[in-house]
Structure 1
Amino acid sequence: MARPKLRSFKFIVVLISLESIILVFANSQSSEEHAHEVHCSRERSRAAYEIIEEYLIPFVERENYQMSHKCKLHPGNDIFRDQEEHKIHVDVNEWRCGYCKKSFRAEKFLDQHFDNRHYNLLNISQGNCLAELCGALHCDHVLNSVVPKTKCNPAAAARNRHLCESLADSCFPVHQGPSAGRLHELFLRQFCDAHSCTGKFKPFSRGGKKHTNIFYLAMSILILMLLPIFYLIVFLYQREMRKGTQVLRRISKQSLKKKPY
């Protein structure tokens, strides 16, 4: 009678062992699938990078100032930068991966491709996430074309202002010279002043990168093309007028030679 009990006990042990192996395998697979997950918003990081390039870098270049790599605003501190630079925008509905040359209909599908296939190329050594600076850089102002009218939160505004001022202090220390001092002041006016519930200041009040207006450029080219034609018409018109004047003069001389009746 002891053997059936022993067999059933061994069977239970085998089942438990198999279940444990299956669980370990499933957990290992799950950990491998989620090992490359990055808790950083690509969209907000892209917005922060574009804001830095548009409303800060032109002034930094004008001052010929070299930002330290320790500065969180430094373009090299974007974990998605290498992937973003390997985007090829072929056409309106065609984006291409610069690593494997695979094509996609929209940028969001290329982003998913990067997350799934090229996650190993992310710069995650220092854990730099530009999206964390969005509160200071007014990313929502850029991401939302129509800013919803919501009641200002003084506590949130104070936190964002504190983050903004700490970026100004760390990236442009005033003791490093006149250029750093001017950029420190500009950063406060450009980004930090708008973190207030008074509504007195707007983000990016100092302006940004100057873009050539396509409309005015096209109009200038058109005017340059039509200008020679205009002068040609004026020249021909004046020549015809001179010919008409000469004919009238000849007629008047002949009429004077006629004898009176």
Structure 2
Amino acid sequence: TIPYECIFSSRRDIFYEQESNKVKISQDEWLCKYCNKTFYSEHHLDLHLSTRHNDTLVQDEQSVCLADHCLIFRCDVLKQAKISIRSINPLARGPDIRFIKSNKISNEQQLTILRSRCASIINQCIPHTIHHDTRVKIQHEMYAEVCAYLTTNKYFELPDYCKPLISFTTVLGAALLIFICLVGIGITRRSDWKFDEDEDESDKHLSDETISSATALLSKTPASGIIHCSKSPVNTVRHRVRFQAEDQD
């Protein structure tokens, strides 16, 4: 369990009991478990808790409000990152980050103090009952994930788990690739259609030539209407023509 000295101990959190009695039923409905009343938003539920159930707050000398440690845990940066991930566009958080830089973090000296407090919190929150090597390993990992960002170069840098899986650049590149593919398909289909059209025109011309040849041949057909093969010997053709002419007489 988390030691009592740790600020994350539920026994020291001022709002732990109240937060435990808040239930989100739907996007527009919240329930107070103390009195079973429902509200349209979490904000109105919080107002209800502060006025009707204020006696449930943990108030003693060791009680802690986690919001007092937001500079250490960079709540402003991570909150803005969450909004930016919803919009996918990383440019959306530009103006807000500039505002944060000018009002929240002033110099390296302030960040040095925050890093020292961060290391102290980590040391308090790791149980002393675990093995020494394991404890040291956990300290290093937590320092790298939290305290190491408390520098002028990394304060506004997002940890890996907060970075969007799909960036604006990725979406733009995918859209461009799809557009190029569609253009290529359109050009290919147009080329195939043009090729088929040329083939149809060739077939049409060939048919016209065939019809002309047939017309010329028919104009030389004998009166009997019989067309003799041009490969037959000349005498045979003449004989057949004379024979047919005699039949007509």
TM-score normalised according to structure 2 size: 0.51
Aligned in 2, Cα 1:123/1:200: closer, same or farther, shift over 3 Å?
Answer: closer
Pick closer, same or farther for the CA change 1:136–1:102 going to 2, 3 Å.
same
CA distance in 2: counterparts of 1:112 and 1:136, whole angstroms:
27
Give, in whole Å, the separation in 2 of the partners of 1:194 and 1:112: 34
2:122 maps to a residue whose letter is A
The residue number in structure 2 matching 1:141 is: 77
Structure 1 residue 77: Cα displacement: 2.6
TM alignment of 1:1-261, pairs within 5 A:
66-125=1-60, 126-144=62-80, 145=83, 146=93, 147-149=96-98, 150-151=101-102, 153=106, 154-172=108-126, 177-199=132-154, 202-205=157-160, 207=161
Runs of 4+ in 1 over 6 A off after TM superposition: none
Query: In 2, Cα distance between the equivalents of 1:103 and 1:201?
Result: 38
- What is the aligned-residue identity percentage? 25
Computing the radius of gyration over CA atoms, which structure comes out larger, 1 or 2? Answer: 2
Q: Distance in 2 between matches of 1:148 and 1:201?
A: 8
Deviation at 1:82, TM superposition (A): 1.0
Measured against aligned partners, the alpha-carbon deviations of 1:157-186 in whole angstroms (never above 9, x if no partner) come to 222212111112222378961222111111
1:85–1:200 Cα change, 3 Å: closer
The unaligned stretches of length 5 or more in structure 2 are 84-92, 163-249
Which letter maps to 2:34? Y
Q: Distance in 1 between matches of 2:145 and 2:13?
A: 21
Call closer, same or farther: CA 1:80–1:157 in 2, change over 3 Å: same
Distance 1:182 1:75 in 2: 24
Distance 2:57 2:30 in 1: 19
Deviations 1:188-213 (A, max 9, x none): 100111111123883545x48xxxxx
Question: SS at the partner of 1:193?
Answer: helix
Aligned pair in 2 of structure 1 residues 124, 204: CA closer, same or farther (>3 Å)? farther
Q: What's the C-alpha RMSD, in Å, of the aligned pairs? A: 2.5
Distance 1:75 1:181, change over 3 A: farther
Aligned amino acid, residue 94 of structure 1:
E
Q: Which runs of 5+ in 1 are unaligned?
A: 1-65, 209-261
Aligned residues: 142
2:155 and 2:37 mapped to 1: Cα distance?
48
> Partners in 1 of 2:156 and 2:31 — Cα distance?
41
> What secondary structure does 1:68 align onto?
coil
CA distance in 1, matches of 2:119, 2:55: 34
Q: 1:164 to 1:200 in 2, by over 3 A?
A: closer
Relative distance call for 1:159 and 1:203 in structure 2 (3 A) is: farther
- CA shift digits 1:89-124 (9 cap, x unpaired): 112111111100111110000000000000000111
Name 1:32's counterpart in structure 2: none
Contact 2:74 2:155 in 1 (8 A): no
Paired AA for residue 117 in structure 2: L
